[in-house]
Amino acid sequence: MRSVPEPERSELVRRLRERARLDAEELISRPPFAIVGLAAPPLRPASLAESARVNGAWSSVSLVYGDWTAPAGPRVKVTTAVVPADAGEGTHSGAGVDAEAELLHEIDAEYSRASGMSGVDEEEPAEPPGYTRSRLPAGDALICTHGAVWAARLLSHSTDSGDGSVIVTITGRGVDPESVQLGPAGDLRPYVEARNEIIAQLAERHRQTPPPVLEPAEGIAAFRALADFSLESHARLTEALHARRAPRQPAGWGPTHSALWQRAVSEQQRVAGIDKRAADDVVTLVINHLSHLADEAGWFTDPRLREAAIDETLRHAMLGEAVRSAPAQRAWAQYWEARTRNSMRMRDPADALADVRAAQPGIEAWREAWAAWAERA
């Protein structure tokens, strides 16, 4: 899993907005399939929440009703997803274990949204998620309830063309599922315009929010604070993925991660005497290096070896010190440079696969170098 910093934020935001504008224009002019919306209760604003493509074709559209900034709702999200007829039984089946996991994933995402808006963490509900089948006004459904949030998968929907099935998923908070009625969404332009207005409001709110206060740290200590924070976040993400859950990061995670990252970059820049872009590249390389160790090195769970590996990686990167893990550090740098270079190129999928295969010896050399280090440590 790759960690991504926040460099050149204004340019990144500009490109994301441009991509969103182009996607929205295509959605408005050529709706990909019959999109379902909320007919009752009358929640406002109604806006586009998410849209996704698979192999260039629109695969899902989510509309959200209610105030995005109200942690406890009332709020309802309606997602229409099309599944090709030749997809077979998979994660988008109407019911079963996969559908249950997807409903719980939707609930986790709603809890994360609420924590992000309120700045207060919500504890995991004491009771495990419960699943029922029920006839709702919206249709027969598989319903998952976990704490104050519920999600429902409507059953037996099909496209007019007969070339696939349409799956409708509803997520709600502060609204009784028995009160939810659905209907055609109609023109998507008002939803897109409402989303743009909400994004502008959230951006202004973010701009006015003071940055988090960090514990004082300089040099290696600043880098270490970011490494510890990133590894803790990575562990939560890995645990959630293994449990087929959506990761729930603590409230304020994003601003804190950004502040820690930028401080580490500034310290790397100061200590090594390099420019900001080069310093950011070093920080990116190191954080991804440690995340890969957490994923792939069984010995990384040993506190003594973990501490030594982190310490050597940071001292090698920031101070250029000679460390016993130098062969592993060089192997990772070579692998990461090749991977980064290849990821920046637009290329044919066959070439991309060839790049992945070509990088394999590099990652194997990295694994072997660390294994040899762990044996001698």
* More confident position, 238 or 160: 238
- 276 falls within a domain: yes
As a three-state string, the secondary structure of 42-101 is CCCCEEEEEEEEECCEEEEEEEEECCCCCCCCCEEEEEEEEEEHHHCCCCCCCCCHHHHH
187 & 71 share domain: yes
Pick the most confident of 8-22, 40-54, 285-299, 328-342.
285-299
On whether the pTM is more than 0.85, the answer is: no
Q: Which residue has the tokens 């104050």?
A: 148
178 & 249 share domain: no
The answer to whether residues 229 and 252 touch, using CB atoms and an 8 Å cutoff, is no
371 & 248 share domain: yes
Q: For position 26, what pLDDT does the model report? A: 73
- Mean pLDDT confidence for 53-72: 86
Which residue in 320, 327, 312 sits closest to 370, CA to CA? 327
What is the count of structural domains for the chain?
Answer: 2
- Mean pLDDT confidence for 81-94: 59
- 318 falls within a domain: yes
The answer to whether residues 76 and 180 touch, using CB atoms and an 8 Å cutoff, is yes
- Please, how many CA atoms are within 13 Å of residue 9, restricted to the half-sphere of its CB? 7
Task: Give the alpha-carbon dihedral of 299, 293, 231, 7, to 10 degrees.
Answer: 170
- 183 falls within a domain: yes
* More confident position, 205 or 59: 59
Q: For position 82, what pLDDT does the model report? A: 84
- Mean pLDDT confidence for 79-97: 63
The answer to whether residues 286 and 317 touch, using CB atoms and an 8 Å cutoff, is yes
- 212 falls within a domain: no
Q: For position 358, what pLDDT does the model report? A: 56
pLDDT over 50 (residue 301): yes
166 & 237 share domain: no
87 & 134 share domain: yes
261 & 113 share domain: no
Which residue in 64, 63, 57, 55 sits closest to 30, CA to CA? 57
Structural domain boundaries, residue 370: 220-376
pLDDT over 50 (residue 90): no
CA–CA dist 330, 319 (Å, integer): 15
Pick the most confident of 10-19, 45-54, 201-210.
45-54
- Beta bridge partners, 139, equal 136
185 & 229 share domain: no
Q: For position 208, what pLDDT does the model report? A: 83
80 & 175 share domain: yes
pLDDT grade for 354, boundaries at 50, 70 and 90:
low
Which residue among 202, 233, 256 closes a domain? 202
| Average pLDDT of the chain, as a whole number | 84
pLDDT grade for 242, boundaries at 50, 70 and 90:
confident
140 & 265 share domain: no
- 10 falls within a domain: no
Q: How many helices (H) and strands (E) does the chain have?
A: 9, 9
Residues 6+ apart with CB under 8 A from 45: 65, 66, 67, 194, 197, 198
- 170 falls within a domain: yes
Q: For position 362, what pLDDT does the model report? A: 78
CA–CA dist 154, 169 (Å, integer): 6
Residue 113: its H or E element: helix 97-118
pLDDT grade for 13, boundaries at 50, 70 and 90:
low
Which residue among 167, 202, 237 closes a domain? 202
232 & 356 share domain: yes
184 & 252 share domain: no
- 2 falls within a domain: no
136 & 257 share domain: no
| pLDDT digit string, tens, across residues 113-139 | 888 777 778 888 889 999 999 999 988
| pLDDT digit string, tens, across residues 308-324 | 999 999 999 999 999 99
- 207 falls within a domain: no
